[in-house]
Amino acid sequence: MTGTRTSPDGRSSRWDEHRLTRRAELVEATLRAVREHGAGVGMDEVAAVAGTSKTVFYRHFTDRAGLWTAVAERVDATIVRGLTRAADTPADTPDGPTGRTGGSPGSAAPARGRVRAVIAAYLHLVETDPEVYRFIVTAPLVPPGERPSGDVAAGMTDRIARHVADLVGAGLGGSLDGSSPTPRLWGVAVVGMVRATADAWLAGGGAAGGQSSDELADDLTRLVWDGLGSLAAAPAEG
């Protein structure tokens, strides 16, 4: 007796591809609406920019929380790509400390440059896309009954923090094991500090308030690096 081989339904596969494509198009339309109308954009405005109805959005995302989550994942991926590119091509930071950080003499300056590049990349996104940033971190689109308790952007912050921990560990010459708690907590600390500072900087008018994103990145790098440099250079106890 021979078994019967079943082949996947081509129509089903095509529909799945169409659905994913359509979801991506609606996410991009939402981002355009946020940039046009601000972080407090409503579903009517989002649907108008997309050239469709709210019903279509709800069909693809279930509710406003589902749409916000899809947009947050899209922005999350953009931030991670930007941080990775920045870490791979860090700017020179001649004012950084010298010495031993990752096991090789003179590696502090390149490591410090990587830390600054990551901070500057985050601040640059905040500066160039402030309404999208506000839309993600405050989620005004999501009504109270649909939003999770606590920080609505905590998931995105945690993912970025894990990525920053990996980048910082690599910048310190591999002396930090990304799977251990310490660098992951450092990643949370760095991202939390930069995010809180970015929020306050935006509330104060951003660059119009008197400090450019580059100047702010320099200040935050000095603050972060003094802590990271001293901890990485300290000999292990025991």
Q: What CATH number corresponds to the domain at position 30? A: 1.10.10
Does residue 88 have a pLDDT over 60? yes
Is residue 80 one of the residues assigned to a domain? yes
- CB-CB contact of 194 with 164 (8 Å): no
Banded pLDDT at 48 (limits 50, 70, 90): very high
Query: How many domains, the chain?
Result: 2
Residue 128 has a CB neighbour count (10 Å cut-off) of: 10
Report d(CA 189, CA 160) in Å as an integer.
Answer: 11
Say yes or no: 24 and 106 in one domain: no
In-domain check, residue 9: no
Place 114 in a pLDDT band, splitting at 50, 70 and 90: confident
Q: Based on the fold, state whether residues 94 and 210 are members of the same structural domain.
A: yes
- Among the three residues 61, 77, 100, which one is the final residue of a domain in this structure? 61
54 with 73, same domain: the answer is no
Q: What is the pTM of this model?
A: 0.75
Task: Give every CB contact of residue 127 below 8 A, 6+ residues apart in sequence.
Answer: 206, 207, 213
Q: Report yes or no: 186 and 171 within 8 Å, Cβ to Cβ.
A: no
Does the residue 138 lie in any domain?
A: yes
The C-alpha torsion from 88 through 198 and 184 to 236, rounded to 10°, is 90
Mean pLDDT for 164-172 is 70
- The token pair at 196 is 């809180």
Q: 75 and 169 in one domain? A: yes
The pLDDT assigned to 105 comes to 38
Kindly report, residue by residue over 13-27, the tens digit of the pLDDT. 777 788 899 999 999
CA gap 140, 148 in Å, rounded: 13
The range of the structural domain enclosing residue 91 comes to: 64-233
Contact 96, 119 (CB under 8 A): no
pLDDT for 212 equals: 92
Check whether residue 95 and residue 171 sit in a common domain: yes
Inside any domain, residue 81: yes
